[in-house]
Amino acid sequence: METFKFTRAQNSRGAIAEAATVSGSKFLAGGTNLIDLMKLDIELPRQLIDINKLALKQVENAPNGNVKIGALVTNADLAYHPQIKERYTVLSEALLSGASAQLRNAATTSGNLMQRTRCPYFYDTAFACNKRVPGSGCSAIQGYNRMNAVLGTSDYCIATHPSDMCVAMAALGATIQVQGPKGERSIPFADFHLLPGKTPQLEHNLKPGELITSVTLPPLPAAAKSHYLKVRDRASYEFALTSAAVVLDMQGNTIRTARIALGGVGTKPWRSLAAEQALAGKIASEQNFRNAAEIAMAGAKPYKDNAFKIELAKRTLVRALITTGGIA
Ligand code: SF4
């Protein structure tokens, strides 16, 4: 591990001001990903700013029926918060399917948004990786790529986005609030994470020195009838092979609107507006769900070891829709 300056901020403004004093500063919250990456010399911040004293640990009602989640709310506290369990079931389920109990107690909402891929070549500095060293090549494309993505990939990177929480937030249409040297702004969830394109080292829409302060969930009565289904190699402490976050607004057996996002298959949390549109106004039936799943995965590109994910993702989505829609 390289040497770095360590500071502890007392408030958001202080954290942002401190970040402006050293280029290459990083904010430290739970540290469940960042510290691992620092130990491996993959992340080399010149300054680490501990933000754990910031007053960003509340889940609270916000104007217009929104729910505001502080950036430092832990994954465990968010998953078990009564409002989240009752009003946004899909988010609670997604959080509880991620990592381990110990990690969920430490990991934060903003850290989860910022976590980096678990592509094994990204973590092994003996291998070429465009995300770690831009221009060095991608070892996964010709290498072992069973866990890699099939949607949103490029010739430069096929790394899967690892988060479960983010898949649920994508389906819910969350908004991310940030504060930086030039003030505050909101970022729609769909615009926060970037596709790899030719620059896989750029993963999000934060500008230098910007700090995530909260995530806002819209009022969405249908989200009380929602579900997150994750398929993985073992029952706990494992990343998704495939996952689906589903929200259905039903009138009787008819779907008024659907919200659908997929995990484990995309280079970013993968909301499928086309699949949602295909279900709007349709009867909740397995055939209609299967049609939507075909649409959701229409652009998928398989690699040597991960073609199975395409059919698995379709079945995951169909099963999540069946469970949410309450059909036999
Ligand atoms: Fe690196 Fe992305 Fe290729 Fe993995 S898939 S080796 S993270 S460039």
How many folded domains does the chain comprise? 2
Q: What is the model's pLDDT at position 2?
A: 84
Domain boundary among 50, 67, 84: 50
Residue 135 CA to ligand 1 center (angstroms) comes to: 11
User: Is 209 part of any domain?
Assistant: no
Domain boundary among 50, 65, 82: 50
Residues of the domain holding 269: 224-325
CA 130 to chain centre: 21
Overall pTM surpassing 0.75 (yes/no): yes
Which CATH number is 33's domain given? 3.30.43.10
136: tokens are 């060095």
User: Is 178 part of any domain?
Assistant: no
- Mean pLDDT, the chain, as a whole number? 97
User: Is 277 part of any domain?
Assistant: yes
User: Is 253 part of any domain?
Assistant: yes
Q: Is 117 in the pocket of ligand 1 (CB under 6 A)?
A: yes
Residue 158 CA to ligand 1 center (angstroms) comes to: 6
* Mutation test residue for ligand 1: of 37, 42, 117, 138, the one with most atoms within 8 Å of CB: 138
Which CATH number is 309's domain given? 3.30.390.50
User: Is 183 part of any domain?
Assistant: no
CA 178 to chain centre: 17
* Mutation test residue for ligand 1: of 127, 139, 195, 305, the one with most atoms within 8 Å of CB: 139
Chain segment 73-126, per-residue pLDDT in tens: 999 999 999 999 999 999 999 999 999 999 999 999 999 999 999 999 999 999
Q: Is 140 in the pocket of ligand 1 (CB under 6 A)?
A: yes
Kindly tell me if the per-residue pLDDT of 169 is higher than 90: yes
Taking CA atoms only, the protein residue closest to ligand 1 atom 2 is: 157
User: Is 105 part of any domain?
Assistant: no
Give the type of residue at 58.
Answer: Q
Q: What is the model's pLDDT at position 25?
A: 97
Q: What is the model's pLDDT at position 328?
A: 64
57: tokens are 């640990």
Residues contacting residue 44 through CB under 8 Å, at least 6 positions apart: 2, 4, 24, 38
Mean pLDDT of the region 152-172 = 98
Q: How confident is the model at residue 225 (pLDDT cuts 50, 70, 90)?
A: confident
User: Is 245 part of any domain?
Assistant: yes
261 beta partners: 245, 271
User: Is 32 part of any domain?
Assistant: yes
